[in-house]
């Protein structure tokens, strides 16, 4: 009997050992794939998908820039897991301190990995209106993430510690919409913009390599999402067009060496705006507009049928009071 009990115990032990090993293996976070695009500049390309359990928020382009003394991260992904996978990828390349995280705007696929970097002492930078935007949207975004299951574990809302603006001493008056941070022999120019893709968009420009991270102000392949004002967005793109960059990293899609993606984004926005305004002027109901507006752009973009209707509705709502 003693021998039988010993054998049973042995098999029970093996069973629980294997189960535990499988759980550990399943929960182990692997480093993201990153590509070096310039000296000290790396990018991870997000998938052209909406957030769901299969991608756990890995749908946006993320990047990091390494200076002589420290590292800056540009956007952190749509969940803690994506942020942690990005942090692990950085640690495969450099052990320098990650001092800065820059969020280009409020959307969850760009900010929900912040919590992976804050324990290392990183300060989060964002548009001077980003904190307000997160207060308005953060809980909703987190609730949406909860719906994809337990893989969102440890995802938290992290407010920006620093704003991308120069202000008066009492911080009530904005003097400039740009600041410079120094990574050690490497300066980054951070710029906040007026309402465009969202109400709190920012860009990151590495002066050393002339690499420009635009966030979702510029998109390639994936249709841009309208969450601001189309007319203003076009004006902001005209400003960005004047920046002397060698490499542009859009919020979604491939890196650029010219303004091809910017012009493609601007073309879609102009068509969207013009055709919505034309519909408003002619009292065409939104139900009819949904069938026709910007349809000539359909073959130029991924996720067009999913994103374009929302863009039309939001543009209608934001300009209908003018007509």
User: DSSP for 160-194?
Assistant: -SEEESEE-TTS-SEEESEEEEESSS-EEEEEE-S
Domain assignment of residue 274, yes or no: no
Domain assignment of residue 140, yes or no: yes
Supply the pLDDT for residue 239: 97
pLDDT tens digits for range 118-154: 999 999 999 999 999 999 999 888 888 887 764 557 8
pLDDT of 26 strictly over 50? no
Domain assignment of residue 289, yes or no: no
Sign of the torsion angle spanned by Cα atoms 209, 210, 215, 219: negative
pLDDT tens digits for range 198-212: 999 999 999 999 999
pLDDT tens digits for range 74-91: 999 999 999 999 999 999
Q: Any idea what the CATH number is for the domain that residue 145 is in?
A: 3.60.15.10
Domain assignment of residue 316, yes or no: no
Within 8 A by CB and 6+ apart from 103, the residues are 75, 76, 110, 111, 114, 124, 125, 126, 127, 130, 160, 202
Q: How many domains does the chain have?
A: 1
Task: Pick the more confident residue, 199 or 18.
Answer: 199
| H-only helix segments in the chain | 2-27, 80-93, 108-111, 130-146, 230-240, 260-281, 286-292, 304-319
Picking from 161, 104, 158, the residue whose alpha carbon sits closest to that of residue 135 is 158
User: DSSP for 262-280?
Assistant: HHHHHHHHHHHHHHHHHHH
**pTM recorded for the entire structure:** 0.89
Task: Pick the more confident residue, 20 or 235.
Answer: 235
Distances in Å between the Cα of 281 and the Cα atoms of 138, 267, 271, 274 are 36, 21, 15, 11
Can you tell me the distance from the alpha carbon of 53 to that of 18, in angstroms, rounded to the nearest whole number? 25
Cβ atoms of residues 228 and 201 within 8 Å: yes
Mean pLDDT of 158-186: 84
Domain with 144, as residue range(s), is 35-259
Can you tell me the distance from the alpha carbon of 208 to that of 185, in angstroms, rounded to the nearest whole number? 9
Mean pLDDT of 281-297: 96
Question: CA dihedral defined by 231, 237, 241, 246, rounded to 10 degrees?
Answer: -170
pLDDT of 9 strictly over 90? no
Supply the pLDDT for residue 12: 42
């Amino acid at each position: 009997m003693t021998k039988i009990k010993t054998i049973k115990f042995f098999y029970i032990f093996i069973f629980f050992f294997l189960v535990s090993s499988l759980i550990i293996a399943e929960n182990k976070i692997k480093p993201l794939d990153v590509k070096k695009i310039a000296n000290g500049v790396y990018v991870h390309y997000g998938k052209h998908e909406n957030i769901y359990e299969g991608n756990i928020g890995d749908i946006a382009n993320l990047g990091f820039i390494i200076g002589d003394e420290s590292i800056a991260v540009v956007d952190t992904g749509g969940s803690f897991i994506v942020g942690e996978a990005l942090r692990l990828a950085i640690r495969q390349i450099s052990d320098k301190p990650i001092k800065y995280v820059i969020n280009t705007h409020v959307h969850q696929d760009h900010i929900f990995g912040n919590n992976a970097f804050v324990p290392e002492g990183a300060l989060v930078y964002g548009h001077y209106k980003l904190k307000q935007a997160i207060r308005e949207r953060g809980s909703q975004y987190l609730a949406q993430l909860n719906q994809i299951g337990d893989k969102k574990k440890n995802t938290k809302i992290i407010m920006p510690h620093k704003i991308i603006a120069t202000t008066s001493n009492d911080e009530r008056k904005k003097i400039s919409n740009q600041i410079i941070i120094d990574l050690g022999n490497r300066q980054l120019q951070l710029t906040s913009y007026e309402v465009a893709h969202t109400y709190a968009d920012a860009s990151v420009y590495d002066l050393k390599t002339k690499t420009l991270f635009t966030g979702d102000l510029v998109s390639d392949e994936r249709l841009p999402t309208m969450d601001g004002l189309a007319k203003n967005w076009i004006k902001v793109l005209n400003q960005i067009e004047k920046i002397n960059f060698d490499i542009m990293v859009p919020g979604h899609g491939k890196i650029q060496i010219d303004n091809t993606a910017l012009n493609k984004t601007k073309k879609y926005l102009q068509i969207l705006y013009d055709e919505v305004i034309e519909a408003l002027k002619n009292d065409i109901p939104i139900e009819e507009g949904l069938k026709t507006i910007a349809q000539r752009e359909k073959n130029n973009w991924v996720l067009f049928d999913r994103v374009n209707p929302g863009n039309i509705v939001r543009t209608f709502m934001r300009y209908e009071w003018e007509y």
